[in-house]
Amino acid sequence: MKVDGQEYRTIWMEGTTVFMIEQNLLPFEFKIHESSSYFETCFAITTMTVRGAGALGAAAGFAMAQAFMHAPVNGYWDFIVQAREEIEDTRPTARNLFYAVDRVFKAGKNSAENAVKEAQLIAEEDARDSRMIGKFGAELFGDETRVLTHCNAGWLAFVNYGTALSPIYYANKEGKKIFVYVDETRPRNQGAKLTAWELKNEKIEHVIIPDNAAAHFMSQKKVDMVIVGADRIASNGDVANKIGTLEKAIIAKEYDIPFYVAAPTSTFDLECKSGQNIKIENRSEEEVLFQTGMDANGNVSRIRVAAMGSPAENPAFDVTPAKYITGIITEKGIIKPCVQSIKKVCKS
């Protein structure tokens, strides 16, 4: 994606430094964050400086490579094993994170150079797979299509292109007319802040809607399809994604609207039998109780938006059962959300 005329990826590594777009500042400020050690990259993951399934996978892979590059001679493997545990503890739900750490860890057993090569390869594969998801997903679109999406599964959530937004970008470049309903996606508002920012950069027509307005627009026959991303997909087709995805799927089913999940095969977890086995991350209540925004004078500040003294629960994800999902758009094609199709695509 181009920002002010310059092309960027969401995350990349040069030497021993990991560079990433500081997503907590968007859409009010565009800044590149630098992490010079695996510990700093871990901190960037936990604070959501970088977020989104594919971008988390790339970040975790780079962090594991940084650990190999910085490991001391004395206590080398103790350092590496400890680093792996710390990286995997940063975000427990995202499958791509564990997938990348495991690959880089195995490659690093030969040499630190191999670890770096593997981490870079994972990032390249993520960009390639996202582009292919766009190509296959765009085939679902007619000449004019109205799409609803939830959270941010676009360029910012992956190394490049994204998943749920990739078909939209691809179809737009083919000359198809696309209109996107962008859920706010509270409490962090990744839809209103990130997805809307991406679509505006791409000059794609869109509107931000309150999270609880989706049923209204679906009932009014103003939505042709729903496309969301995924953080982990169980072997039976159940999908863990940003909190609020489940209710969108249920509503789409009620109004007979196709509901698609877009994700690379690296997001599938064949060892996870169903959504009941997916660990759901609970984040700080402050994300619910406080919001960051810009006032009329351009000043960015953080304010409390909830009653003083009231606590909050903040599950980051929910699980959508396979029965609500029309299909899963992968880099190898569109498949049904079932054990047979998932095993076949993962082994192909």
- Domains of the chain (ranges, CATH numbers): 2-130 (1.20.120.420), 141-347 (3.40.50.10470)
Identify the weakest region by mean pLDDT among 5-9, 232-236, 237-241, 317-321.
Answer: 5-9
118-168 pLDDT, tens digit each: 999 999 999 999 999 999 999 999 999 999 999 999 999 999 999 999 999
Active site (annotated) includes residue 231: yes
- For the chain, the straight-line distance linking the first and the last C-alpha, in angstroms and rounded, comes to 30
- The two counts, helices (H) then strands (E), for the chain are 12, 18
Per the CB < 8 A criterion, the answer to whether 10 and 160 are in contact is yes
The C-alpha angle 173, 181, 232, rounded to 5 degrees, equals: 85
Given a cut of 90, is residue 304 above it in pLDDT? yes
84-103 mean pLDDT: 94
Per the CB < 8 A criterion, the answer to whether 42 and 50 are in contact is no
Helices 38-46 and 76-88: crossing angle in degrees, nearest 10, is 10
Active-site option among 129, 211, 231, 238: 231
Per the CB < 8 A criterion, the answer to whether 139 and 174 are in contact is no
C-alpha to C-alpha distance for 37 and 44, rounded to whole angstroms: 11
**Nearest to residue 143, comparing CAs of 179, 181, 100?**
179
255-265 pLDDT, tens digit each: 999 999 999 99
Per the CB < 8 A criterion, the answer to whether 19 and 34 are in contact is yes
Given a cut of 90, is residue 94 above it in pLDDT? no
Q: Is the dihedral of CA 241, 244, 248, 251 positive or negative?
A: positive
HSE-CB at 197 with a 13 A cutoff on CA atoms is 24
